[in-house]
C-alpha cells in the first residue's frame, strides 16, 4: 500500500509539474505575442517593376521574402545597366522616370511606353547571358534582356545601356546594413535590385503635412513607396515596429528611409528643377535624437520607413493596417 501510494504521489507530482510547465509556456508565449493595434488603412499599393522607372498602381499584391510582387512581377526585378554593367538610376538619367511600365494582357510580358517611341514588350522568362552587376557596391546577378531592349533604351536615354532581369533561381543579395547610410539591419535580409530593404511605407497624413510646407506640392510617387496608408496622424509610421496588413502579411521595421535628390525629380518633365521637397525636409525631418544610428543619417532627412518580411501574405487596397509600437514615449501617434 505504501509503495502504491508513493507511486501515485510521484505520478501526481509529475502531472502537476507538466501542467504547470505547459501553463507557464502558454503564458510566456502569449506574452511574446505582438500586441497589434489598428493604426491605418491601405489607400494605395505601388509596384516598381524597373528600378527608377515609373510605378504601377495595383489593387493587390504579395509581400514575399524577395519583396513586393503583383501580377507575377517582383518590385525592382528589372534594372538598367551601363556598358560596364553598373546600375543606372534616374539620379544619372532623369528621363528614366518618364518611361511607364504596364502589364501585358498575355501576362507574359512587361510593356514599356514613352512618348515618341513604340511600346517595348519584354518577356518575363528571360534566360539570356548572366550579368554580374552592383547596386551601391553590393554584387547582384541578372539575365541580360537582349539587343532589342538594349537598343530601345540606348536610343531613348542617349547612351549605351542594357537591361537585366532578376530570376528567382538567382541568389538574392545579402544586406546587413543600408549601404547608403550605414544603418545596421538584422542579418540575412535579402532584396532584388532595391537599394536596401524589401518594402517602404508612407502615410497620406505625412504627405499632406509636407505639402503645407512647400510651394509646389508633390505626390507620394516622389518617394516611391510600396504601401501608402491613410487614417493615421502625420509621421505615425515612424513609430511602428511591426506592421500587419490584412490577415497574414507581416513586416518589421528596419530603419528610417533617408532621402536624397530623387525626391526632387519632376515626374512630368523628367528633370531636376527644384531643391524641394528635399530642402524643406532637411529643415524639420532630421533623424530623431533617440535613434541609436542617428549619426549614420547625417544630413539626410527621413521620410517613410523601411520594412522587411516577417510573414508572407496578400495585401489589398482597403485592408486594415495594424502595428506594434517602438519608442514608447511617442506611442501617442495612434489612429485619429
Hey, what domains does the chain have and what are their CATH numbers? 37-330 (2.40.33.20)
C-alpha grid cell, residue 242: 511591426
> CA–CA separation, 59 vs 48, rounded Å?
14
CA angle in degrees (0–180, nearest 5) for 149-155-160: 75
> CA–CA separation, 264 vs 12, rounded Å?
72
pLDDT for 219: 98
Alpha-carbon dihedral angle through residues 112, 113, 118, 124, given to the nearest 10 degrees: 10
Mean pLDDT of the chain: 86
Alpha-carbon dihedral angle through residues 279, 80, 153, 226, given to the nearest 10 degrees: -60
Q: Does the pLDDT at position 269 exceed 70?
A: yes
Q: Using alpha carbons, select from 281, 278, 239, 279 the residue that is nearest to residue 256.
A: 239
> CA–CA separation, 186 vs 298, rounded Å?
21
8-state DSSP, 32: H
> What distances in angstroms separate CA 34 from CA 30, 37, 100, 230, one per listed residue?
9, 9, 40, 22
Helices (H), 212-293: 278-284
Q: For residue 173, what pLDDT band results from cuts at 50, 70 and 90?
A: low
Q: For residue 178, what pLDDT band results from cuts at 50, 70 and 90?
A: low
Poorest-confidence range of 81-85, 168-172, 201-205?
Answer: 168-172
Q: Using alpha carbons, select from 194, 205, 235 the residue that is nearest to residue 43.
A: 205
Q: Kindly state the average pLDDT of the residues 286-310.
A: 87
pTM listed for this prediction? 0.86
Q: Using alpha carbons, select from 258, 138, 154 the residue that is nearest to residue 189.
A: 138
pLDDT digit string, tens, across residues 205-256: 999 999 999 999 999 999 999 999 999 999 999 999 999 999 999 999 988 9
Q: Kindly state the average pLDDT of the residues 129-153.
A: 91
pLDDT for 31: 40
8-state DSSP, 301: P
The beta-carbon contacts of 18-24 under 8 Å, at least 24 apart in sequence, are none
Q: Kindly state the average pLDDT of the residues 293-305.
A: 87
Over its C-alpha atoms, the chain yields an Rg (Å, rounded) of 24
Amino acid at each position: 500500500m505504501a509503495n502504491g501510494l508513493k507511486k501515485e504521489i510521484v505520478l501526481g507530482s509529475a502531472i502537476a509539474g507538466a501542467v504547470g510547465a505547459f501553463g507557464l509556456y502558454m503564458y510566456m508565449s502569449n506574452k511574446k505575442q505582438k500586441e497589434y493595434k489598428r493604426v491605418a488603412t491601405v489607400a494605395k499599393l505601388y509596384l516598381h517593376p524597373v528600378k527608377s522607372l515609373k510605378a504601377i498602381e495595383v489593387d493587390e499584391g504579395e509581400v514575399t521574402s524577395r519583396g513586393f510582387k503583383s501580377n507575377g512581377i517582383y518590385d525592382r526585378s528589372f534594372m538598367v545597366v551601363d556598358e560596364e554593367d553598373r546600375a543606372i538610376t534616374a539620379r544619372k538619367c532623369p528621363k528614366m522616370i518618364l518611361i511607364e511600365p504596364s502589364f501585358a494582357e498575355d501576362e507574359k510580358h512587361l510593356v514599356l511606353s514613352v512618348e515618341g517611341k513604340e511600346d517595348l514588350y519584354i518577356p518575363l522568362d528571360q534566360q539570356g547571358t548572366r550579368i554580374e552587376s552592383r547596386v551601391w557596391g553590393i554584387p547582384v546577378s541578372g539575365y541580360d534582356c537582349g539587343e532589342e531592349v538594349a537598343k530601345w533604351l540606348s536610343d531613348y536615354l542617349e547612351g549605351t545601356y542594357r537591361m537585366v532581369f532578376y530570376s528567382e533561381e538567382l541568389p538574392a543579395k545579402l544586406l546587413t546594413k543600408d549601404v547608403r547610410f550605414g544603418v545596421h539591419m538584422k542579418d540575412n535580409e535579402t532584396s532584388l535590385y532595391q537599394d536596401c530593404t524589401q518594402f517602404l511605407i508612407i502615410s497620406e497624413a505625412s504627405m499632406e503635412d509636407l505639402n503645407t510646407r512647400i510651394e509646389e506640392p508633390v505626390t507620394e510617387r516622389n518617394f516611391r513607396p510600396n504601401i501608402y496608408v491613410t487614417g493615421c496622424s502625420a509621421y505615425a509610421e515612424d513609430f511602428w515596429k511591426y506592421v500587419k496588413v490584412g490577415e497574414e502579411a507581416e513586416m518589421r521595421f528596419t530603419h528610417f528611409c533617408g532621402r536624397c535628390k530623387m525626391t526632387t525629380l519632376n515626374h512630368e518633365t523628367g528633370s531636376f528643377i527644384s531643391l524641394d521637397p528635399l530642402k524643406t525636409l532637411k529643415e524639420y525631418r532630421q533623424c530623431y535624437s533617440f535613434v541609436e544610428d542617428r549619426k549614420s543619417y547625417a544630413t539626410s532627412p527621413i521620410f517613410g520607413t523601411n520594412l522587411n518580411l516577417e510573414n508572407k501574405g496578400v495585401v489589398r487596397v482597403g485592408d486594415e493596417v495594424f502595428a506594434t509600437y517602438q519608442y514608447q514615449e511617442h506611442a501617442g501617434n495612434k489612429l485619429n
